[in-house]
A and B are shown apart, each in its own frame.
Chain A
Amino acid sequence: MNWHDVLTAMLPEHILLAGMVLLLCLEIVSGRDRDGFFVALLTVAAAAVAACDLFAQGYAGSPFAGHFSVSPMTSLPKAAILALTLPVLLISRDDFAETRYYVLLLASLYGACLLVSSDSFLTLFLGIELMSLPVYVLVLLAFLRPESTEAALKYLVLGGAATATLLMGVSLLYGWSGSLGITAFTSALSATQPLATGGAVLVVAALLLKAAIVPFHAWAPDAYEGASVPVTAYMATVIKAGVLLAALRLFGTALVTGPMVSLLAVLPLVSMAWGNLAAIRQTSFRRMIAYSSIAHAGYLYYAFLGAGPGRYQAIVFYLIVYGVMNLLAFVALPRSVDDTRQDHLDALQGLFHRQPVAALVIAAAMLSLAGIPPLPGFAAKFLIFRNVLAAGYTTYAVLGLVASYLGIYFYLRVIQYMFMSAESPDAVRGRPRRLAFLATVLCLVPAILLSFFPGWLLDRL
C-alpha cells in the first residue's frame, strides 16, 4: 500500500469525506444553515473535477489491491455521477435548509463512488449500502405529506430485502469459489454447479431489485412520489446509475450465456413494456417518472445481452444522457409550496404561456426520454439496441424497440399538457428562481452538446 497512491487514486472520495467532516463541524460551530449548501456544492464540484483530472491523466492504480482500483474506466463514470449531483444540489436549497441533508447526500455519493471502483464483494457491498442507506432517510426527511413515511418504509423494507438477497448470493459465491473478488461472479456465470448459478442469480436479482425491474419494481413509484423533487431527481439519476455501474463492474466484459440470458432478456423486456404502459395512467409527475425509470432500467439491463466490450460504452453513455435529460425535466419543473399540487400533472397545463423556457426545456427532456432524435436519448437507445442486435438477439431487439414505442404516448402527453391545454385553475405559479435557472443551464449545455456531438463522448468511452 503506497500512501501516495491512496491519496491520489481516492482523491474524489477523500474530498467528499473532507466535505462531510467539514459540514458536521459547521453544524456544531455555526448556527447558520445556509453555509451547508455552499460547502456541499463546492465539495461535489471539487470531487468531480478531481475525478475528471484522474480521467484526463489516464491514471490507473489500485491503492488497496483486490478491493479498490482506479482506472480511466472508473474515473469517468465517477466524474459523471458527481457532476450529475450538482444540479440536484442547486435545486435542493428551497426544500432542505438543514446541514444534515447535505451530509447524507455526500455520504450516499461516497458510496456510489466506492462501488464504481470496487474489486471485491466487500467493497461492492459497502458501496451499495452506503449509497442506499442515506437515501432512506432522505425520502423521509422531505416529509411533505403523510405518504412520505409509507414511501420511506416501503423503500427501506424492500431495500433490506435486496441487501439480504445480495449477501446470500455473495456468501454462496464465496462458498463456491473461496474468494471475495468480484471475478468470482463472472466465473460463476459460466459454471454449471448449482451453488455457483444460485449465487449468481441471487446477486443479479438483488441488482434488479435495486434498479426497480419488474417484478421487483413496486417500491419505486411510492418512493419517488413520497420523496421531494430533489431527492426523486437524485434517486432517478444517481442511484440508478450507481446500481447499473455496480452491475457493470460485476459483469465486466463477460459474455452472458445460458439461463442468465433469459433472466436478463425477459425481465427487462417486461419492465420496458410495463413501465411504459403503467406510466400512461399516472396523474402524478413523479410517479410517471418512476414508471419511466422502470422502463429505462429495462433498456439498461438489455445492454448486458450485448457483447462485453461495447457494454461499458453503451451503459455509461446511456446513464449520462438519461441522467442529464431526467435532471433537465426536474430542475425546470415549476415549484410550489403545496407538494401534492406541484406534483400533479395538471399543474403543467398551459405552462408554455406562463414559463415558455421551462416548457421548452421539459419538452426537450420528454422527447429525449422517449428516444426521439435529434435529442441524445435516441443515440443512447440506438447504441443499446445495436449491441443487442449485434449479439444475435434479433427478436429481443425488435421486441424491445416495440416496447419502447409504447412509451411515446405518455411523454407526448406531458408536452400536450404544457403546450396545447388552456391554463388550469390549479396552475402552479412559482416565481422563477435563480438557482433553478443555473441548474437548468448546467443541464442544458451538456444536453445540447450531446445532441450535436455524441461522438465526442463516445470516443472517450
Chain B
Amino acid sequence: MADSTLLNLVLWLPILGIVAIALLPRGRDSLVRNLSLAVMLLQLAMTAILYVHFDPSVSGLQFATNQPWIREWGIGYNIGLDGINVLLVALTAFLGPLVVAGAFSAIQKDVKLFYAMVFFIQFAMLGTFLAQDLFLFYVFWEAMLIPMFLIIGIWGGERRIYATIKFVLYTAFGSILMLAAVIYLVYSLQQRTGINSFAFVDLYGSDLPLRTQMWLLAAFGLSFAIKVPIVPLHTWLPDAHVEAPTAGSVILAGVLLKMGTYGFMKLGFPLFPEATRACTPVLMTLAVISIVYGACLALVQNDIKKIIAYSSISHLGYVMLGLVSLDLVGIQGAIVQMVSHGLVAGGLFLMVGMIYERCHTRDLAAYGGLAKLLPVFAVFFAILTLASIGLPTTSGFTGEFMALLGAFNAAWPLHEAGYDLPLVLAVIAVSGVVLGALYMLRLAQQLLFGKARAPHQPLTDLNTRERVILVAIVAAVFTIGLYPEEPLRKTELAAREYQQIVTGTALDQESLP
C-alpha cells in the first residue's frame, strides 16, 4: 500500500513516537532507546516503500494529500513527494535510526526528553520537505528551532547556552523577514488574481514586478542563506556544531543545513525567477566565496568538529553553485551533493562522537596513530575522509563533479559571448576541491597516522552497534557513488521543471545536455 496514507503515516509516526515515549514509566531508559530505534526503523521501512514506488516519469506530486486547514485564509494541509524532496525525505528517514542508535551510550541525562526532541525535529524536518503549502512550510520551518534549541542547550558542551541562543537568534531573524515576505507574496497574489491560496503551485508564476521580486527574494534568501549557511552568515554554525551533542551535530549537518538549499530550490528561486536571473552573478560569487573561505577556515582549525563544520560550509557552496548554474547537470549535481553531504558529514560527526566518548577531547593535537590503536575506526574514518574529498566511486565525487560541470556548462557560452565572470568563478570553485583534499588529509593524517597517542588509553575499538551504523553509511555512500543513475532518474524530471521555471523557458526549446 503505497499511497497518501503511508506518506502521512511516515510524517506523523514521530509524533506517535513522542506519545509512546511519554507514556513509558520513568527510569526505563533502555526501553526508551529501543522503542525509539524501532519507531525510526519502521519509519525508514515505510519511506523505502514510498521511494521504490515513486514514479520518476510522473511530473508533480505523488502520494499527495490536500485538505483545507484554515479554509478562510486558503491554507491547506498539503503534502506530497516530488522529484526534489524525495531524496531528501529518504535521507532524513535514513539518518533517523542512525542518530537514535548513535546516541545510545552518549546520552545518559533526560533520556526521555532527548528522544522526544529527536522525534520532534524528525517530524519538523520531514514536514518542511513534504509541505506544499507556504503556511505549512513556514510552520514546520520554524518548529525545527524548538527541538534544536533544546538538543544543543541541554545535552551540549560547555558553551552550549551561548551556542544554542546564537543559533536560534540567527535563524529566527531570517525567518521573521521571510514571514513578512510570505504575507506580502500571498496578499499580492490575491490582489492580482483573486486567488486566496498558500499552495506552492498557485504561487509559482505569480509574475510580480522585478523590484518586488528582488525584495521578496532578499527576504526569503536571507532566511535560507543563514540556514545553508552562506558566508558571511555562517558564524553560528561552528559554535552550534562544536557545542551540540553528536546527535545534534548529525541532524544539523545531515539534514538541517539542507533546509536552506532546499528552500532556495523549492521556493526562493522558482518563486522569483526574474530576480534570480538578475542576481545570478551575486549568488554565484557568494557560493564560490563559501566554497573557498569555508575550506580555508577548515584548514587552520585544531578542533576536529570545527574542521568538519567548516567543511560543511564549503560543501554546501557546491550545492548553491549547482543550483544557480541553472544547468540540468548542475542542478542534479546539487541534489546529489545535498544527499552526499548529509551522509558523509553525518557519518564524520558520528565518528567524532565515537572517539570523543572514548578520549573526551576533540583537540586534534591530542591524537595520532589511531590506525594502530583503533584499526576498525581508522578504516571507516579513512573511507569517509575520501568520500568527503570527493574521490571517484564515492557519492562526494558524483555531487561535486556534476555541480562543477554544471557551472562550467553554464559559464562557457557566456565566456564565448565575452562575459568571463562565471568562468573565473567556476575555476576558483575547482580550487575548493584541492583545498578540500588538503584539510581532510591533514585531519586524517594527524588522527590516524604518525606516533600512536591518545588520551584515556587503553581504547576499545568500535563495538557492533557502532560498526553497523558506519557500515550503513558507507554502503549508502558507495551506492550513490557507483550507481548514481538511480537517484538521478528520480530527480531528473523535477530538476528539469525547476530549470524551466527559473530560466523561464518551455520544454521543447530546451537543449538537452
Residues of A within 8 A of B (CB): 352, 356, 367, 372-374, 378-379, 382, 385-386, 389-390, 394, 397-398, 401-402, 404-405, 408-409, 412, 415-416, 419-420, 454-455, 458-459
Other contacts beyond A352-B110, A397-B183, A409-B169: 15, CB < 8 A: A352-B113, A356-B113, A372-B146, A386-B183, A389-B184, A398-B180, A402-B176, A408-B169, A409-B165, A412-B165, A416-B153, A419-B153, A420-B160, A458-B72, A459-B71
User: Which of B80-88, B135-143, B316-324, B444-452 sits within the interface?
Assistant: B135-143
Q: Tell me the residues in window 120-170 of chain B with beta carbons closer than 8 Å to chain A beta carbons.
A: 135, 138-140, 142-143, 145-146, 149-150, 153-154, 160-161, 165, 168-169
Contact B165 A416 (CB under 8 A): yes
Contact B169 A455 (CB under 8 A): no
A397 to B181, CA, bound (A): 10
Q: How far is the CB of A408 from chain B (nearest CB, A)?
A: 5
Return the chain B residue nearest A356 by Cβ.
B113
20 A-B pairs in the complex with CB atoms less than 8 angstroms apart: A352-B113, A372-B146, A373-B138, A373-B140, A373-B143, A385-B180, A386-B183, A389-B184, A402-B177, A404-B176, A408-B169, A412-B165, A415-B149, A416-B165, A419-B153, A420-B161, A454-B70, A455-B72, A455-B75, A458-B73
Main secondary structure of the interface of B (DSSP, over half): helix
Return the chain B residue nearest A313 by Cβ.
B72
List chain B residues, Cβ under 8 A from A408: 168-169, 172
Q: Tell me the residues in window 287-346 of chain B with beta carbons closer than 8 Å to chain A beta carbons.
A: none
Interface mask (B52-73 → A, CB under 8 Å = 1, otherwise 0):
0000000000000000111111
List chain A residues, Cβ under 8 A from B142: 372-373, 378
Contact B161 A416 (CB under 8 A): yes
Complex partner residue of A401 from B110, B150, B180, CB under 8 angstroms = B180
Q: Does B380 contact A (CB under 8 A)?
A: no
Contact A405 B173 (CB under 8 A): yes
Q: Does B187 contact A (CB under 8 A)?
A: yes
Contact A394 B161 (CB under 8 A): no
List chain B residues, Cβ under 8 A from A454: 70
Contact A401 B177 (CB under 8 A): yes
Contact B71 A386 (CB under 8 A): no
A459 to B73, CA, bound (A): 10
Pair count A-B, CB < 8 A: 81
Contact A382 B179 (CB under 8 A): yes
Contact A385 B139 (CB under 8 A): no
Contact B110 A374 (CB under 8 A): no
Q: How many residues of B contact A (CB 8 A)?
A: 35
Contact B183 A385 (CB under 8 A): yes
A382 to B73, CA, bound (A): 11
Q: How far is the CB of B61 from chain A (nearest CB, A)?
A: 22
Q: How far is the CB of B195 from chain A (nearest CB, A)?
A: 15
- A398-B177, A420-B153, A454-B70 known; A378-B184 Cβ under 8 A: no
A431 to B173, CA, bound (A): 39
Contact B69 A372 (CB under 8 A): no
A36 to B18, CA, bound (A): 42
Interface mask (B87-128 → A, CB under 8 Å = 1, otherwise 0):
000000000000000000000001001000000000000000
Return the chain B residue nearest A408 by Cβ.
B172
List chain A residues, Cβ under 8 A from B154: 419-420
The list of the 7 closest CB pairs from A to B, nearest first, reads A455-B70, A373-B139, A405-B176, A420-B153, A373-B142, A398-B180, A401-B176
Q: How far is the CB of A221 from chain B (nearest CB, A)?
A: 24
Contact B168 A412 (CB under 8 A): yes
List chain B residues, Cβ under 8 A from A402: 176-177
Return the chain B residue nearest A386 by Cβ.
B183
- A373-B138, A397-B183, A408-B172 known; A458-B70 Cβ under 8 A: yes
Contact B72 A459 (CB under 8 A): yes
Contact B139 A378 (CB under 8 A): yes
A408 to B173, CA, bound (A): 10
A268 to B118, CA, bound (A): 39
Contact A374 B139 (CB under 8 A): yes
Interface mask (B170-200 → A, CB under 8 Å = 1, otherwise 0):
0011001101100110010000000000000
- A408-B172, A416-B161 known; A382-B71 Cβ under 8 A: no
Contact B183 A382 (CB under 8 A): yes
Contact A372 B179 (CB under 8 A): no
List chain A residues, Cβ under 8 A from B149: 412, 415
List chain A residues, Cβ under 8 A from B73: 386, 458
Q: How far is the CB of B141 from chain A (nearest CB, A)?
A: 8
Return the chain B residue nearest A455 by Cβ.
B70
- A389-B184, A394-B184, A419-B150 known; A455-B69 Cβ under 8 A: yes
List chain A residues, Cβ under 8 A from B138: 373
Q: How far is the CB of A367 from chain B (nearest CB, A)?
A: 6
Return the chain A residue nearest B141 by Cβ.
A373
Q: How far is the CB of A405 from chain B (nearest CB, A)?
A: 4
Q: How far is the CB of A275 from chain B (nearest CB, A)?
A: 16
A458 to B169, CA, bound (A): 31
List chain A residues, Cβ under 8 A from B179: 382, 385, 401
Return the chain B residue nearest A399 by Cβ.
B180
A374 to B71, CA, bound (A): 17
A106 to B220, CA, bound (A): 49
A94 to B3, CA, bound (A): 55
A405 to B172, CA, bound (A): 7
List chain A residues, Cβ under 8 A from B168: 408, 412
List chain B residues, Cβ under 8 A from A373: 138-140, 142-143
Contact A397 B180 (CB under 8 A): yes
A219 to B144, CA, bound (A): 38
Q: How far is the CB of A328 from chain B (nearest CB, A)?
A: 16
Contact A389 B180 (CB under 8 A): yes
List chain A residues, Cβ under 8 A from B68: 455
A252 to B140, CA, bound (A): 35
List chain A residues, Cβ under 8 A from B183: 382, 385-386, 389, 397
